[in-house]
Every structure is written in C-alpha cells, then in structure tokens.
Amino acid sequence: MASDLSHPVFARFFTWFSQKMEPEIGPYRSKLVAGLSGRILEVGAGNGMNFAHYGKDVTEVVALEPEAYMREKATDSAARVAPKITIVDGSATALPFEDDSFDHVVACMVLCSIDDPEAALQEARRVLKPGGQLSFFEHVRAEGQAKAKVQELLDDSRIWPWVAGGCHCSRDTVASIEAAGFQVTQVSDEAIGVNWGHTNPHVLGCASPHTSA
C-alpha cells in the first residue's frame, strides 16, 4: 500500500542532522541491531542510517518508509552497504507483508512519529515468526512529573509534532509495547545529547510476543 506521508522540510533536515549525529548515535544503532540474524523488517527506516550497522548474519533487510524523500535517501544508503536491502513504501500501521514472515522487527526512533503506534505494534507482532523479536531504540516520556508535563504540552499543542515531522515526545512507549502483547526482555535507559532535553530519556531494548497473546 503506497502511503501519502510527506514531511519535505523535516526529511531534509533529519537527513542532514542524522549524519551529523552519527558519531554519538551510531553506537546505539550498533547495539540495537547487534546479534540480529535472518530476515529483518525495519519500520520507518528514514534515510537508512541503521543499514551500515547490520551484521553478517542478516540475510535480508526490508526497510519500510512512507516519506518519499527519506525513501530516496534510504535507497542511496542501501547501495553503499553489504546486506541485501529492499526499500518498500508503506505504513507500519498496515504492513504489506504476510503473517510470520520476519525473524526480527526493528523500530528506531519511529514509534514517536507513527500516528497510531498501537496499530504498528500489533502489526509488528503479526509479521514476526514464532520466536522472533522486536528490537527498539526510542525516546520516551520522562519519569519526572514536571518534565513529562512539558513534554505533554509540546505534544498536545502540536508544536513539537509540527516542528519534527509528526514526532511526539511524551509517549510511554515501553508501556505501549507491553500493552500490544509483547514481553520486554531487555531494556536500558539512555540519554542522547542534552540530558534534560525534551527528547530524553531514550530506551534501548528488545521484546518478544507473548505466546498466548
């Protein structure tokens, strides 16, 4: 299914900014995909900054990206790396893939931006093979009430989503992952850039679908 998401200004800014931030964010990207193997679905792959981090046990990466400029840049990135990478247009909320078709789903700084993250997580669960895992690296709602309130104001006023291509900074993404029928098997809190910034903390981890869910 083709998507109509268009954030031309943000897409160009993010492409520049993600490259500038690679010395700092790259090690987290490496940790996110470390040890993954087989057929991977990366949702909202952006301009493809994770591609160079996939290891030799990855046989194929299917990179879903709904934004046209991002997709173009992801295609350029895919041409520069070893693993086989297929770029696909579409939304994480309605994945154009069969049930049980991927060994891992990777979500990197994307559950903040997807309009319906709950639907995306249900879809991730649907396409994972039995025994498959969701790997995530996301910025999330702060634990402190004052900062969480600021994050909520930025989201509810639509200021932050407008500035940042639909991003939200107050989402409790680990709770959403659990509510979608995953068991979080590993998670760590990380801070990127300015610790007190509204897009911290980050969480890095993985989750497995509950077999009974």
Indicate the SS3 state at residue 63.
strand
Q: Among residues 15, 77, 93, 200, which is the contact residue for ligand SAM, using CB under 6 A?
A: 93
- Shortest CB 43 distance to ligand SAM, Å: 5
Q: Among residues 5, 36, 121, 204, which is the contact residue for ligand SAM, using CB under 6 A?
A: 5
- Kindly determine how many residues on this chain lie close enough to bind ligand SAM according to the rule CB under 6 A: 24
Cβ contact 63:87 at 8 Å:
yes
170 lines the binding site for ligand SAM (CB under 6 A)? no
Indicate the SS3 state at residue 57.
coil
Cβ contact 49:18 at 8 Å:
yes
Q: Can you tell me the distance from the alpha carbon of 10 to that of 123, in angstroms, rounded to the nearest whole number?
A: 26
Contact pattern from residue 127 through residue 166 relative to ligand SAM, giving x for each residue in contact according to CB under 6 A and a dash for the rest: ---------------------------------------x
H helices of the chain, where?
A: 8-20, 22-33, 68-79, 117-127, 145-156, 159-163, 173-179
Half-sphere exposure of 207 (CA within 13 A, CB side): 28
Q: Among residues 58, 109, 206, 207, which is the contact residue for ligand SAM, using CB under 6 A?
A: 109
Beta carbons within 8 Å of 123's beta carbon, 6+ residues apart: 92, 93, 94, 95
Q: Which stretch binds ligand SAM (CB under 6 A): 86-94, 127-135, 147-155, 168-176?
A: 86-94
- Shortest CB 151 distance to ligand SAM, Å: 16
Contact pattern from residue 32 through residue 71 relative to ligand SAM, giving x for each residue in contact according to CB under 6 A and a dash for the rest: -----------xxxx--xx-------------xxxx--x-
Q: Among residues 41, 110, 169, 203, which is the contact residue for ligand SAM, using CB under 6 A?
A: 110
Indicate the SS3 state at residue 135.
strand
Binding region for ligand SAM (CB under 6 A): 5, 14, 18, 43-46, 49-50, 64-67, 70, 91-93, 108-110, 113-115, 166
